[in-house]
Structure 1
């Protein structure tokens, strides 16, 4: 199974600017969930950014995907991408993260 990629977004602009692009960001997320690319996403607590779990054929492919996020297109957040080869998972998550 290809690695999972953990994308950690950190806002670099004030929340007022972030909020102007939240609807476009959510639409972007929904599109990629529908395509089966994204696995999980959510806001960091406190609200300093977000986290996205995704699949991808390569780090370069994931980087290219994330560059299309409105938060990236408008320079609102930086992103750190961490490749993760899952070794163990809870019973209900094995089908998602581990080879059969």
Structure 2
């Protein structure tokens, strides 16, 4: 499982100009089963995404295609972790170590 932290690198007006394309990209990732949750940070200086994928390389390819990235208005920090305990709704994503 991955936590994706977006940090805006441009003024909010530039971010907002790309927001519709970013939302369409988010919808596509939800349809593919990659994203589980997402939303803006508070204060609004970026956002957070919870994602699942077979490996970090796939996540990095996906984030590179975010319109926010291609427009140069945000940077990503990708953190991978083993979800060894989850809420019941996330049980399909639970991992075991070893």
Match of 1:93 in 2: 89
2-structure distance, mates of 1:97, 1:31: 20
Written as runs of structure 1 = structure 2, the 5 A alignment for 1:20-59 is: 20-59=17-56
Are 2:77 and 1:80 equivalent residues in the alignment?
yes
| Normalised TM-score (structure 2) | 0.90
Are 2:66 and 1:69 equivalent residues in the alignment?
yes
- The 1:64/1:94 distance shift into structure 2, 3 A limit, reads closer
Show structure 2 runs of 5+ residues with no match: none
Show structure 1 runs of 5+ residues with no match: none
| Normalised TM-score (structure 1) | 0.89
2-structure distance, mates of 1:29, 1:59: 18
| Runs of at least 4 residues off by over 2 Å | none
